[in-house]
Chain A
């Protein structure tokens, strides 16, 4: 089933939680609503479910306007952040609840619950109560309960928030597999960009109630619509430059001014991976000192101090690090392979695009 939001706004008193948001979810899609906490993503999810009423705008499920339909009439499955399992019911009764309400026959309920218990790997736990289950099991029961009455849409609020990091990875993979098998239109809310990138087909990014961008994980990573998205999806170096003598400068760094007159302020952004490093001090145009190395498992995060006081963040694998023979305090040369002008449209430039770095002539001569 498809879902569509048209100009949806939600105000809580004077506070506007969601501003004029429009997007659509295709049938069978696995969509992530991503953003920092307080971004409005949970409110959007609750409005789709019917747990909140939009202040204005329309919500369509399968091309039917559902604004005036109650939660019960929308045929959605909702998984709450803390799962909200019925404490006084065991696993079997939790999963069977929706079916009992819909007056399924007892035999059919038994068969459906058995089917879900098997699909979700909950065999042998039917008689347990919520407090006797692990975090991962609780989540499975919550999803099984939501799916039991065969909803047309599955909505999950921070589904991996309440389990510890170790199980989280396993559950992510499991959710992808499950979605693949059931093919039910699914929307989940998360504040973890890595999770959104890994699990979803497409991502909707929110910040302070505004929809910032919608796209596939690759699109939002490679072509962030704005600085917020660029910063939120992966780390980004952002520099404030000013055009002088036909070149955008900050400290010793120089970028193509794209024909802008002197005095124009340009915001330049680039990914950590765009910083190329060499221990051959004459290979790249800028000199820097590796000031600090952070070990993040297989990836390392490096901070380079430039003589002007600028700090650039870079990432590389352990192998690259070892190959280069880097260590804290080591002097290196570096360059920025490609970058983008942020908020280009405000500066009167064509929309943002990736720019391959051409060393400005002055530096090229210098080398």
Chain B
């Protein structure tokens, strides 16, 4: 089947000499500019991160990752992601469901609100929570008297990260859910399935790739978030420093190789995420191609 598809693609490119097409010069110039831009601004720095982190050898690299503050930062980052990603997945599914399946007043407002974190600077997101829960904030004194710490503590970091990352899952799911429509779910209902079973057996499987894609993006951002977390965390080494904050701190303390080592770990996480994302995209495309491929077989003549 793969052979067929690639052959079709080749035919398509061969026949694409339309009258409206730009000249080859323009085409390659544009592609060249993109390639050069990405190489200079993305690829080169990325390679540099790894080169710098290994500048003093593997042992220094290893030691700087094993240093207690680094370990604590890695653990904190993983913990935050472990709390934030499931919560935002739940929220994203609920929001996408509501938007795709129901008609209600204020729907477009809800969609706009979901997009808000994309529009607002992360620093503002962090400040919002400081104003809410900080000692000088509205709820600060009450929380303090009950010995609950949110700002300059892990709960604040979690809240800020949730704020920044909540659009990812919903944004991915809304178009997928809108495209699948309600018919399959109604079919499940007529076959006796309740709401939960319909969701579990019919709705969820039909959006699984979109959902996974959303989760991956959400996770990448949750681990990499700097601005919002920086405002609420207080940068207490070994306590409230996440990996991005720790990188900054190490760098400011002129511990170049250590900073780059932790940064390389973050970059590796990002690369891993990108790889997963590409894999999912490829799988989704393949499923789509499979669905498009029509193996029409004449109905068996038995009745």
Contacts and interface: CB of A to CB of B under 8 A. Distances in A.
Interface in A5-32: none
A156 to B, nearest CB: 12
Nearest to A88: B205
B188 A97 contact: yes
A86 B290 CA distance: 15
Nearest to B193: A101
Contact of A174 (B183, B188, B189, B303): B303
A149 B187 contact: no
Interface in A122-168: 122-125, 131-134, 136-137, 140, 145-146, 149, 167
B121 interface: no
A80 interface: yes
B186 interface: yes
Contacts of A178: 303
Interface string B161-185: 0000000000000000000000110
B201 interface: yes
Contacts of A335: none
Interface stretch (B52-60, B104-112, B211-219, B292-300): B292-300
B40 interface: no
B301 A97 contact: no
Interface in B255-303: 290-303
A72 B202 CA distance: 16
Contacts of A177: 303
Interface residues of B, number: 31
Contacts of B298: 134
Contact of B299 (A87, A119, A167): A167
A102 B192 contact: yes
A122 B291 CA distance: 20
Contacts of B45: none
Contacts of B35: none
Contact of A134 (B184, B187, B299): B299
Interface string B8-46: 000000000000000000000000000000000000000
B197 interface: yes
A278 interface: no
A112 to B, nearest CB: 13
A101 B299 contact: no
A87 B184 contact: yes
B240 to A, nearest CB: 43
A78 interface: yes
B184 A86 contact: yes
Nearest to A151: B190
B191 interface: yes
B206 interface: yes
A77 interface: yes
Interface in B233-265: none
B189 A72 contact: yes
B194 A72 contact: yes
Interface of B: 183-184, 186-194, 197, 201-202, 205-206, 208, 290-303
Interface of A: 49, 51, 71-72, 76-78, 80, 82, 84-88, 97-98, 101-102, 119-125, 131-134, 136-137, 140, 145-146, 149, 167, 170, 174, 177-178
